[in-house]
Amino acid sequence: MNQTDIKDQKGSKLSILQTLRVHGSMSRIELTRVTGLSRATISISIAELIENNLVYETDDRQITKGRPATTVELVPRSRTIIGADLDNKTWTLGAFDLLGNVVKSVKIPVNTFDPEATFQTLASQITQFVEGLEPKPVPLLGLGVPGLVDAGHSIIRSAVDLDWRNVHVAELIRKEIGWPTVVVNRHRARGLTECRYGAGQDYHNMIYIGVGMGIAAGIYIDRQLLSGSLGGAGEIGHTTIEPEGPLCPCGNQGCLQALSAGPAMEQHYRKLVRSSDHPVYFDPIIDLQTLKIHDVCAAAEQGDMLAVEVVKTAASSLGISMANLLNTFNPEAFILGGTVPSASPLFVETATKVMRQRAMRALGTETAVKTSMFKDIGGALGAANFAFDKNISISFFT
């Protein structure tokens, strides 16, 4: 076999592995259709992958019009990939197999807002974390972080809530552990997890929207993240909803984030309570400044009318954004994740209702809206997958 044939064979095996990672198990016939490889190439490549304990064929046979076809699947725990997610001054660090199963995870608190110290805190724990992992992890790290991320250069261009600018994450991590590092917005990482393993796994084209301290979306076409030229595709938190609305930390007025994110909802609730004689769900001796968004959502679920007003107002603005996204991208489904949708069925219900009212009727009635299945671990899993997508190499499988 000449060098060109060897190269082609390596590429064929990678194509099969990546297809199974993104789309899940499938028959040889389906692999031929999706990858564009010939049946002969598929047969040779699968035989080598089985020999290397990377894939196997199930005994269950699918019902087809012709010959029955066995299903090709990835072998659990054949390789281990590493990812981490930063949220609320806590790193969630995880090790996963190529099927999305959690091999090991740990929480790492961060006691600083300094960006360099934040990433050093994570890096200092990684060596100990990976000790004893079997199989040994691929020396590659995926990170889900807040803000506008230049994924191509692993730089956080701007995280306005943390006052971070041009944080060169890859350099900081490489200095500590020597691993290549790929960075992605944490909501887009979480959406990738939902797309492949969670609430969106039945869809090929979907949009994930994370609502917590901030708001960001991930747009997935054929289960692949649409990044944009700088990795900023999906920054819906900074799209304008009310031109004369409240000032956003980004400097614009009336951004969706300034109307519908957790801090905006907290501020709205405090304002209503202080200016109203309406009885509230919370004990009046509680300091309103200590209330968090999950408290407001809980109050709304208990029937507190002021909290209900806050939730519906915020969700209505999100619903408008969802309608605009629906008319623009026509996804099969929206997946809503993050602190607010997880804590408030009313928020999800209201946003969905407004979306259907404002979108084109023919599109809105066909689009599903679901809440995320993965919680804390979703960002780390998605980041690990995103990093592996960008750096998959046959050397990791030999």
- In degrees rounded to 5, what are phi and psi of residue 330? 50, 60
Answer whether residue 4 shows pLDDT above 90. Answer: no
Average pLDDT over residues 56-67: 65
For the segment 110-137, the average pLDDT, to the nearest whole number, is 94
Instruction: Report the distance separating Cα 340 and Cα 357, nearest Å.
Output: 22
Domains in the chain (CATH in brackets) are 3-74 (1.10.10.10), 80-192+377-397 (3.30.420.40), 201-371 (3.30.420.40)
Helix/strand/coil for 336: strand
Is the predicted pLDDT of residue 9 greater than 70, yes or no? no
Indicate the burial class of 240 (C-beta count within 10 angstroms; 0-12, 13-18, 19 or more).
middle
Residue 13 DSSP SS3: helix
pTM above 0.75, yes or no: yes
pLDDT higher than threshold 80 for residue 310: yes
The pLDDT value recorded for residue 5 is 42
Task: Return the structure tokens found at 243.
Answer: 């031109």
What pLDDT band is residue 358 in, cutting at 50, 70 and 90? very high
Q: How far apart are alpha carbons 92 and 71 in whole angstroms?
A: 34
> Which token pair is 346?
């009313």
pLDDT on residue 7: 45
The pLDDT score that the predictor gives to residue 392 is 83
Sign of CA dihedral 343, 223, 355, 213: positive
> 209 and 336 in contact (C-beta within 8 Å)?
yes
User: What tens digit of pLDDT does each residue of 73-119 get?
Assistant: 999 999 999 999 999 899 999 999 999 999 999 999 999 999 999 99
Q: Are 327 and 360 in contact (CB under 8 A)?
A: yes
Tokens linked to 334? 């929206």
Average pLDDT, the chain: 90
Please write the tens of the pLDDT for every residue from 315-347.
999 999 999 999 999 999 999 999 999 999 999
pLDDT score at 306 = 92
> Given this model, what pLDDT does residue 274 score?
86
pLDDT over 50 at 3, yes or no? no
Q: Which of 166, 185, 170 is nearest to 86 (CA)?
A: 185
- Is the separation of the CB atoms in 343 and 153 below 8 Å? no
- Which residues, 6+ apart, have CB-to-CB distance to 186 below 8 Å? 85, 86, 87, 144, 145, 146, 210, 216, 379, 383
